[in-house]
Each structure stands twice: as structure tokens, then as C-alpha cells.
């Protein structure tokens, strides 16, 4: 029978072997996944902070994605994070929509949607044009719009259809010009959207107005017509701010461009 001293020595030896094995494993892990690799996989903290500032409207007016963050933005929109963040916004929107007693105001419950980067996604255009690394180009963007080939943002399409089934009156309020009405309508229908009450585009008297002013004025017209704007969805703060505000506004992610 082994003495207590021998048993204690054996336990200490086993403990030492376990510690050495753990240290070797950790060293191997460090070699396989160096610290800089882990940071890249999680995202550059500087660019995460920049994107956060953009989304909460703390970054102010900006014209291009900062050069160190171009790859970060590319990976964000090409990966799963963009769809995941869009899904989260859609889910919160639907939670609120389900809380509204639609119909008690004689069918005047309205929901306003922006179009670009809200219902339709222009990622094919931005993939070919640097993901916001260059200043916005009206000419090339309008050429893209006129192809009428923008796909739907999947989570917004799901939300849109659910809002229709709940009985909301849906209004589409876009910064696109009146000359693009036909191609915009066709693109929306092709993408799966239908049954909206009105598609509102910039007319001759809206030219030169900042988006916040233009969209506020159009919302005010809806309010004067007796509609109650319960929800408003857009990818820019200028889609959501100003006056004649919705009871709840929901911002979708967009760190590719800024519209005042």
C-alpha cells in the first residue's frame, strides 16, 4: 500500500503534466491564430467605432469611407453582418407594428418606407464602385437606377409583406426624381413589392432641398390628409428626422454614403 507521501507526490506530478500540456496547447494556438489575426476576424476596432458613430448620427457629414476602413466596409456588406443587422431592425419594426391596433382610425394607419438601401439594395452598383471609397457620382448612379435591376433587401421585403397583411397603408418616399418613376415602379414590382398607396418622388419644386426638408414636407402632406404615420423606415437619418415624425422610426444600417 502506497504511503500518503507517495500519493501526494504522484498527484503533484499529474498536476504539473496537466499545466505543461495546457501551456503547450496555448502556445500552439498562438502560433496558429496570432493576435493580429483574431483582431481582423472580429473587425478593426477603429472602423467598428467609426461605423457606430455613423449609425448613431454622431459622425456628422462625411463624403467617403475613411481609407483605412474601405476593406472593413466591403467585408461588412459582403458578409453576414449586414443581413443580420437588417434582420434585427426588421424584427424590432415588426414588434412595434404588432402592437398597433390597426384599423381603429378608419384605415389611416400609415408606414413610410425609403427606397434605396431600404427596400431596394444597390450593392451591385457599390461593389463595382468601391463601397463608398469614392465621392457619390450622380451620373453613374442614375445610370444604374435606370437599369431597373436593384434586388430587394430580403428582410425589408419580409417586413413590407407583413405590414400589408396587418392592414397598414404603405407610402414609398424616395429622393429619386420624378423622371425615374416608371423604372422605379417596375424595379419595385420585379423585386416583389406591390400594393403601396403612393410612390412619392422629387418633383420640380423639390429640387435643391435637403433630404430632411423634402421628406418632412411630404410626410406633413400625408398627415394633413388624415394619415397617422405609425412607422418610418430608412437607411439615412435624413429619412427619419425633421418634422411630421412617425410614432416610431427605424434606421437600417448604411456606412457607404451619407445624405443630409
124-171 pLDDT, tens per residue?
999 999 998 888 888 999 999 999 999 999 999 999 999 999 999 999
- The residue ranges of every structural domain in the chain are 4-32, 45-251
Binned at pLDDT 50, 70 and 90, residue 240 comes out as very high
Secondary structure of residue 251 in the 3-state scheme = strand
Out of 23-37, 189-203, 229-243, which region has the weakest mean confidence (pLDDT)?
Answer: 23-37
Kindly write down the DSSP assignment for every residue of 23-84, as one continuous string: HHHHHHHHHHS-HHHHHHHH--HHHHHHHHHHHTT-S-S-SS--GGGHHHHHHHHHSHHHHH
Whether the pLDDT of residue 39 is over 90: the answer is no
Burial class (CB in 10 A: 0-12, 13-18, 19+), 43: middle
Give this prediction's pTM.
Answer: 0.82
Whether the pLDDT of residue 12 is over 60: the answer is no
Other beta carbons less than 10 A from residue 102's beta carbon: 17
C-alpha cell at 243: 418634422
Whether the pLDDT of residue 227 is over 80: the answer is yes
Q: How far apart are CA 109 and CA 118, in angstroms?
A: 20
Q: What is the pLDDT of residue 215?
A: 98
CATH: 3.40.50.2000, 3.40.50.1110, 3.40.50.1000, 3.40.50.700. Which one for 45-251?
Answer: 3.40.50.1000
Whether the pLDDT of residue 27 is over 60: the answer is no
C-alpha cell at 167: 392592414
Residue whose C-alpha cell is 456606412: 255
Whether the pLDDT of residue 106 is over 90: the answer is no
∠ CA 98-191-75, nearest 5°, is 85
Residue whose C-alpha cell is 405609425: 230
Binned at pLDDT 50, 70 and 90, residue 9 comes out as low
Amino acid at each position: 500500500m502506497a504511503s500518503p507521501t507517495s500519493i501526494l507526490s504522484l498527484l503533484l506530478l499529474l498536476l504539473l503534466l496537466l499545466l505543461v500540456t495546457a501551456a503547450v496547447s496555448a502556445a500552439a494556438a498562438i502560433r496558429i491564430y496570432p493576435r493580429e489575426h483574431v483582431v481582423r476576424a472580429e473587425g478593426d476596432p477603429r472602423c467598428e467605432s467609426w461605423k457606430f458613430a455613423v449609425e448613431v448620427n454622431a459622425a456628422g457629414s462625411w463624403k467617403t469611407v475613411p481609407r483605412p476602413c474601405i476593406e472593413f466596409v466591403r467585408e461588412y456588406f459582403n458578409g453576414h453582418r449586414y443581413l443580420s443587422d437588417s434582420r434585427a431592425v426588421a424584427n424590432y419594426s415588426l414588434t412595434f407594428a404588432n402592437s398597433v391596433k390597426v384599423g381603429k382610425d378608419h384605415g389611416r394607419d400609415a408606414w413610410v418606407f425609403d427606397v434605396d438601401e431600404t427596400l431596394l439594395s444597390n450593392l451591385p452598383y457599390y461593389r463595382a464602385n468601391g463601397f463608398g471609397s469614392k465621392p457619390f457620382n450622380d451620373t453613374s448612379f442614375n445610370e444604374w437606377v435606370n437599369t431597373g435591376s436593384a434586388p430587394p433587401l430580403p428582410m425589408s421585403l419580409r417586413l413590407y409583406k407583413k405590414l400589408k397583411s396587418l392592414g397598414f397603408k404603405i407610402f414609398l418616399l424616395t429622393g429619386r426624381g420624378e423622371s425615374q418613376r416608371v423604372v422605379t415602379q417596375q424595379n419595385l414590382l420585379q423585386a416583389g413589392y406591390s400594393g403601396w398607396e403612393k410612390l412619392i418622388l422629387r418633383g420640380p419644386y423639390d429640387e435643391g432641398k435637403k433630404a430632411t426638408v423634402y421628406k418632412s414636407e411630404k410626410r406633413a402632406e400625408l398627415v394633413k390628409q388624415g394619415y397617422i404615420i405609425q412607422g418610418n423606415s430608412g437607411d439615412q437619418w435624413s429619412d427619419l428626422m425633421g418634422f411630421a415624425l412617425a410614432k416610431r422610426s427605424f434606421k437600417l444600417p448604411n456606412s457607404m454614403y451619407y445624405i443630409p
